[in-house]
């Protein structure tokens, strides 16, 4: 069988490379297609095409025209919705339910939201007194940064790629994007959509490849990149920071997490169980916002653990295409090895396994895939590695607390600070605890309820800067102040 090849998109053309790598389906370990791997020369061509495009029609387009083109991209995603859903499911093994209700609709929505935002954005203006009494007028003008390098992860491929692309394009930048090597398909489809929508050549360039000594590193260390926006592991963030340091450029980082959930004794019990199960196991625990540490008031502990166990065991782990599947496989064998190494470590550290801890058996081709069981553990100390380190799989550690102060201290005892969830029916407590959380995003009585205008990002090792609404546009545009003496 001849496998199809996913190409780069450089200067408005789809191009191959002499080197290629395999794209593997984690459901059964089979090869889906081959992917071109960009070398240094191709990365340079993409960067130079983007630089050139800044001087072309894109640079002189009105905001209205740019916004109209971005709406066409959103239309294009929606017109090929089923292809995008299928591509995302093939690359990641995520469920049909998730790909069709979250990933792909959000991919289109990202373009619409930021296209509309730039159309209505205002700017600052100050009347300034001067000694001659005539005054001066100051106003600020947002200008694109130039060529933006976009590096995306594999967990929500189209959603997170477009979360960066849409505001960066809306602000007038040109792009060189690199999707994760694990998930090249939906990004390639997006390049086709951009092409069909009439985005001028060079404005959006897509290169495929890996991180170190490959396309990712060539891109982030390129002298002609004006800014880097990256979502991925904290460790990769620090490698990118080092690569970017020589040429000094703005960085936007959305990094890892070890998110806590706190369940108080006055919580709506069923809602807290339901929400915590969702926050631990959505996308196989492979969402940066997922809960990996659960702190439950001691009066509820046993009951809560039992109820969460029941939820975990009731989840349907199965074919992504089945409408009732809750959880698919992990993204890859490499990632499964990492997650299973933490399951093993948890046992070595003395954890009690409430449920899971192993690999499901299907008796069919899925036994060659990258599956793991949803897992709940208890009994570890706060300094156990499984409680400290991001695992990024369907596993959570549950422990108890007695006082509110203790719960806050436990939740904040992490080098990460991305998200937190608080479950209480006492709204004053909800506010009080939320403001003490050392995290960028705090949910009270819910989880992953998103409004695209709100600040999104983390503190500590979970990131630098904020995305979302005006926060994204502030990163992707640099205001220049114009002062006119009257």
Catalytic residues: 254
Using an 8 Å Cβ cutoff, are 327 and 370 in contact? no
Pick from 392, 423, 443, 476 the residue near ligand NAD by CB under 6 A. Answer: 392
Residue 91 binding ligand NAD, by CB under 6 A? no
Q: Is 155 in the site for ligand NAD (CB under 6 A)?
A: yes
Using CB under 6 A as the binding rule, whether residue 463 contacts ligand NAD is answered as yes
User: Which residue's CB is nearer to ligand NAD, number 153 or number 357?
Assistant: 153
Which helix (H) or strand (E) segment is 269 a member of? helix 269-281
Please choose, out of 122-130, 233-241, 263-271, 352-360, the segment that lies near ligand NAD by the rule CB under 6 A.
233-241
Q: Which of 287, 259, 261, 252 is nearest to 463 (CA)?
A: 252
Residue 35 β-bridge partners: 6, 21
321/446 with CB nearer ligand NAD:
446
Q: Which position among 26, 107, 142, 153 is part of the footprint of ligand NAD (CB under 6 A)?
A: 153
Considering only 255, 305, 327, 387, the residue that binds ligand NAD (CB under 6 A) is: 255
E strand map for 236-382: 251-254, 259-263, 291-297, 352-355, 375-378
Site pattern 36..55 for ligand NAD (x: CB under 6 A): --------------------
Q: Using the minimum distance from each CB to ligand NAD, give the nearer residue, 92 or 462.
A: 462
Q: Per CB under 6 A, does 458 bind ligand NAD?
A: yes
Q: Does 232 bind ligand NAD (CB under 6 A)?
A: yes
**Residue selected from 88, 103, 390, 438 as contacting ligand NAD according to rule CB under 6 A:** 390
Q: Looking at 236, 259, 282, 400, which residue binds ligand NAD (CB under 6 A)?
A: 236
Q: Are 459 and 300 in contact (CB under 8 A)?
A: no
Residues 405-444, one symbol each (x = binds ligand NAD by CB under 6 A, - = not), give: -------------x--------------------------
60-79: which residues touch ligand NAD (CB under 6 A)?
none
202 vs 211, beta carbon nearer ligand NAD: 211
Handedness of CA 368, 369, 375, 379 (dihedral sign): positive
**Cβ-based nearer residue to ligand NAD, 257 or 329:** 257
Site for ligand NAD in 195-224 (CB under 6 A): 210-212, 216-217, 220
State the pairing for strand pair 136-144/125-128: antiparallel
Span near ligand NAD by CB under 6 A; candidates 148-156, 165-173, 316-324, 380-388 = 148-156
Secondary-structure breakdown of the chain: helix, strand, coil percentages, each rounded to the nearest 5: 40, 20, 35
Shortest Å distance, C-beta 152 to ligand NAD: 6
**Residue 224: exposure state from Cβ atoms within 10 A (0-12, 13-18, ≥19):** middle
Rounded distance between C-alpha atoms, residue 439 and residue 34, angstroms: 40
What's the min distance (Å) between Cβ of 180 and ligand NAD? 4
**How does DSSP classify residue 100?**
I
**CA dist., res. 295 & res. 301, Å (int):** 9
Separation of alpha carbons 163 and 161, rounded Å: 5
Contacts of 449 (CB under 8 A, 6+ apart): 443
Q: Is 188 in the site for ligand NAD (CB under 6 A)?
A: no
**Min dist. Cβ of residue 73 to ligand NAD (A):** 21
How far is 145 from 342, CA to CA, in rounded Å?
41
Give yes or no for residue 154 binding ligand NAD (CB under 6 A): yes
Nearer to ligand NAD, 313 or 334 (CB): 334
Separation of alpha carbons 363 and 360, rounded Å: 10
Contact call for residue 256 and ligand NAD (CB under 6 A): yes
Whole-angstrom CA distances from 23 to 30, 64, 209 are: 9, 39, 11
- 185 versus 424: smaller Cβ distance to ligand NAD: 185
Secondary structure (3-state) at 150: strand
Nearer to ligand NAD, 197 or 395 (CB): 395
Residues 6+ away with beta carbon under 8 Å from 98: 282, 283
Phi, psi of 326 (to 5 degrees): -95, -35
Q: How many CB atoms lie within 10 A of CB 323?
A: 9
Of all residues in this chain, which one has the CB nearest to ligand NAD in the complex? Answer: 211
**Which of 239, 359, 409, 459 touches ligand NAD (CB under 6 A)?**
239
SS3 state at 316? coil
Q: For strand 459-460 and strand 416-417, is the pairing parallel, antiparallel, or unpaired?
A: antiparallel
288 is an interface residue for ligand NAD by CB under 6 A: yes
260 vs 288, beta carbon nearer ligand NAD: 288
Find the binder of ligand NAD among 53, 102, 113, 151 (CB under 6 A).
Answer: 151
Q: Which residues bind ligand NAD (CB under 6 A)?
A: 151-155, 160, 178, 180-181, 210-212, 216-217, 220, 231-233, 236, 239-240, 254-257, 288, 390, 392, 418, 458, 462-463
């Amino acid at each position: 069988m001849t496998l199809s090849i996913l190409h780069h998109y450089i200067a408005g053309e789809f191009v191959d490379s002499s080197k290629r790598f395999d794209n593997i389906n984690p459901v059964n370990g089979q090869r889906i297609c081959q992917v071109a791997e960009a070398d240094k020369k191709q990365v340079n061509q993409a960067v130079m095409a983007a630089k050139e495009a800044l001087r072309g029609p894109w640079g002189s387009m009105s905001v209205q025209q740019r916004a109209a083109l971005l709406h066409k991209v959103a239309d294009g995603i929606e017109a090929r919705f089923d292809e995008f859903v299928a591509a995302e499911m093939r690359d990641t093994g995520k469920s049909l339910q998730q790909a069709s209700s979250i990933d792909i609709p959000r991919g289109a929505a990202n373009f619409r939201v930021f296209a509309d935002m730039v159309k209505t954005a205002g700017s600052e203006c100050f009347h300034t007194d001067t000694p001659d009494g005539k005054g001066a007028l100051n106003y600020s003008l947002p200008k694109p940064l130039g060529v933006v390098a976009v590096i995306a992860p594999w967990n929500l491929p189209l959603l997170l790629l477009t979360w960066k692309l849409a505001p960066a394009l809306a602000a007038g930048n040109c792009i060189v994007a690199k999707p994760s090597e694990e998930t090249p398909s939906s990004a390639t489809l997006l390049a086709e959509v951009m092409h069909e929508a009439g985005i001028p050549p060079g404005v959006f360039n897509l290169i495929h490849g890996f991180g170190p000594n490959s396309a990712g590193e060539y891109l982030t260390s390129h002298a002609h990149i004006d800014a880097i926006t990256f979502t991925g592991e904290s460790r990769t963030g620090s490698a990118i920071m080092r690569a970017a340091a020589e040429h000094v450029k703005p960085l936007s980082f959305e990094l890892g997490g070890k998110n806590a959930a706190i369940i108080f004794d006055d919580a709506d019990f069923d809602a807290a169980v339901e929400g915590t199960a969702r926050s631990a196991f959505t996308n196989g625990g492979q969402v940066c916002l997922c809960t990996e540490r659960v702190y439950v008031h001691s009066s509820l502990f046993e009951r809560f653990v039992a109820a969460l166990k029941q939820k975990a065991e009731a989840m349907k782990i199965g074919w992504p295409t089945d409408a009732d599947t809750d959880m698919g496989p992990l993204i890859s064998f490499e990632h499964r090895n990492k997650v299973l190494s933490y399951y093993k470590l948890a046992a070595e550290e003395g954890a009690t396994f409430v449920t899971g801890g192993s690999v499901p058996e299907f008796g069919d081709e899925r036994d060659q895939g990258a599956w793991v069981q949803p897992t709940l553990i208890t009994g570890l100390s706060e300094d156990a590695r499984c409680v400290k380190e991001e695992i990024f799989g369907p596993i959570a550690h549950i422990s108890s607390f007695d006082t509110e102060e203790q719960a806050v201290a436990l939740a904040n005892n992490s080098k990460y600070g991305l998200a937190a969830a608080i479950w209480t029916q006492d709204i004053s407590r909800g506010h009080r605890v939320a403001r003490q959380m050392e995290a960028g995003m705090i949910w009270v009585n819910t989880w992953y309820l998103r409004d695209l205008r709100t600040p999104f990002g983390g503190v500590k090792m979970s990131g630098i800067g904020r995305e979302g609404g005006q926060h994204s546009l502030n990163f992707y545009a640099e205001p220049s102040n114009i002062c006119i003496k009257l």
